[in-house]
């Protein structure tokens, strides 16, 4: 097994909130508290733990996703790895040449040209001039700004600056790459180039720590995931398992008119809940036990399925499929279920059940993102839907005559 290039061993990081002390009355107690307060024990007033006992390793060719809600400590983790910050307790270590995709245009000078900023940014990242010269054409071509490379950066759009910044970092040839939510730069074509470049880094043995709120990108790029949770222990494990826990914990609020007693997703024909990655084409069953606090006449039951990046991949309701509506009185318990086939490709998907009025006399009652499931790795190269293709090759033109002629000549030869 290869040596770990990123080591985060029992790391704690403490910060202090609030304004600087502006009176002797506040300053003296604060100094006394710091004097007698032992590092690593419970924080004093206005102090808090941004990270609490976080541990992980990333080896060569491995990508670790770092996820969590805002304020969970994701960016703090990267700042510790880049040595911008030092841990309060524990050990943070990075071995080898480090590239950081954090603030892509942070090192650019607005009065310098794109070409001059490539050399400036490359030097900030630790590249030698000869190395920058060797990659210059590739950097410019990757960024797609060849006609403007000798224009001052202040004339660039923010997207052009971000593309150039990513391109410089993408040609750094690092041993370790640290990424903080920067892959939404440029248009769709450029984003695809970014993802392809990261895959090349993985294949070449670069260790990558990848911070993102985009669970689709995490599912596509990462080998393992750590889920940072303020006030409790982080979860480290397989991508599908950890992402599903994260997505399920981010459920949106349901409608106040409906109390969702239970919503669960199982494999059709069984009571086994969906927890492991699902094979494309699997049949699933969404089941919700509900109690309404108001009357819901002419009620239908439906669902929206969204990919983790927000893409709606499916939406439908029972009446659209020819099923009758139901009049529900206040306090009536109702069980609603949908069976569907997950003809989807790799990714994380959220299922949002809903109740609606066929005549639209009352607003849709959304029940929140009640459940989530993950489609595992497939043989498909890209996309969102499993179309179950069937391939065939039919000879055309001269080939149609050539094969029968060969068969005829073969038959004559066999008779002789």
For 273-316, how does the pLDDT look when each residue is reduced to its tens digit (9 = 90+)? 887 778 899 999 999 998 988 999 999 999 999 887 788 999 99
Q: What is the mean pLDDT of residues 256-284?
A: 85
Least confident range from 138-142, 201-205, 259-263: namely 259-263
pLDDT at 401: 47
- pTM greater than 0.75: no
More confident call, 206 vs 107 = 206
Least confident range from 2-6, 248-252, 281-285, 380-384: namely 248-252
Domain-wise residue ranges, the chain = 4-240, 251-375
The answer on pLDDT for 19 being more than 50 is no
Q: What CATH superfamily is the domain 251-375?
A: abc- transporter (atp binding component) like domain (2.70.50.60)
3-state secondary structure the chain: CCCEEEEEEEEEEEEECCCCCCCHHHHHHHHHHHHHCCCCCCCCCCEEEEEEEEEEEEECCCEEEEECCCCCCHHHHHHHHCCCCCCCEEEEEECCCEEEECCCCCCCCCCCEHHHHHHHHHHHCCCCHHHHHHHHHHHHHHHCCHHHCCCEHHHCCHHHHHHHHHHHHHCCCCCEEEEECCCCCCCHHHHHHHHHHHHHHHHCCCEEEEECCCHHHHHHHCCEEEECCCCCCCEEEEHHHHHHHHHHCCCCCCCCCEEEEEEEEEECCCCCECCCCECCCEEEEEEEEEEECCCEEEEEEEEEEEECCCCEEEEEECHHHCCCCEEECCCCEEEEEEEEEECECCEEEEEEEEEEECCCCCCCEECCCCEEEEECCCCCCCCCECCCCCCCCCCCCHHHHHHHHHHHHHHHHHHC
More confident call, 412 vs 326 = 326
For the domain made up of 4-240, give the CATH fold.
Rossmann fold (3.40.50)
More confident call, 32 vs 331 = 331
In the chain, % of residues over pLDDT 90: 38
Q: Residue 30: pLDDT band by 50, 70, 90 thresholds?
A: low
Q: Residue 64: pLDDT band by 50, 70, 90 thresholds?
A: very high
The answer on pLDDT for 266 being more than 60 is yes
């Amino acid at each position: 097994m290869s040596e770990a290039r990123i080591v985060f061993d029992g790391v704690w990081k403490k910060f202090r909130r609030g304004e600087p002390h502006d009176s002797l009355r506040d300053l003296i107690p604060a100094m006394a508290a710091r004097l007698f307060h032992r590092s690593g024990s419970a924080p004093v007033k206005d102090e808090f733990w941004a990270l609490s006992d976080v541990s992980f390793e990333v080896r060569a060719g491995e990508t670790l996703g770092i996820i969590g809600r805002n304020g969970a400590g994701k960016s703090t983790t990267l700042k510790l790895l880049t040595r911008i910050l030092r841990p309060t307790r524990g050990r943070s270590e990075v071995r080898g040449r480090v590239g950081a995709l954090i603030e892509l245009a942070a090192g650019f000078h607005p009065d310098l040209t794109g070409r001059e900023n490539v050399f400036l940014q490359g030097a900030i990242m630790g590249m030698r001039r000869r190395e920058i010269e060797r990659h210059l054409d590739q950097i410019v071509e990757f960024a797609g700004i060849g006609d403007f490379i000798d224009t001052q950066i202040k004339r660039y759009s923010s997207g052009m600056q971000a593309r150039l910044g990513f391109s410089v970092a993408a040609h750094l040839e690092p041993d370790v790459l640290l990424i903080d939510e920067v892959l939404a730069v440029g248009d769709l074509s450029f984003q695809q180039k970014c993802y392809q470049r990261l895959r090349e880094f993985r294949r070449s043995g670069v260790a990558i720590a990848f911070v993102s709120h985009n669970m689709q990108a995490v599912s596509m790029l990462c080998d393992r995931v750590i889920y940072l949770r303020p006030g409790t222990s982080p979860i480290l494990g397989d991508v599908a398992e950890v992402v599903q826990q994260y997505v399920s914990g981010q459920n949106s609020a349901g409608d106040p008119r409906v109390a969702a007693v239970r919503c669960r997703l199982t494999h059709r024909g069984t009571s086994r809940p969906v927890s492991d990655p699902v094979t494309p084409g699997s049949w699933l069953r969404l089941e919700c036990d509900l109690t309404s606090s108001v009357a819901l006449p002419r009620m239908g039951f439906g669902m929206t399925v969204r990919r983790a990046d927000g893409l709606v991949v499916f939406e439908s309701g029972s009446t659209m499929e020819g099923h009758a509506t139901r009049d529900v009185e206040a306090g009536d318990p109702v069980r609603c279920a949908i069976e569907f086939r997950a003809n989807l490709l790799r990714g994380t998907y959220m299922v949002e059940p809903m109740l609606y009025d066929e005549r639209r006399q009352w607003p849709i009652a959304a029940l929140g993102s009640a459940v989530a499931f993950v489609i595992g790795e497939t043989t498909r190269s890209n996309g969102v839907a499993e179309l179950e293709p069937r391939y065939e090759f039919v000879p055309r033109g001269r080939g149609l005559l050539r094969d029968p002629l060969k068969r005829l000549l073969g038959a004559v030869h066999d008779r002789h």
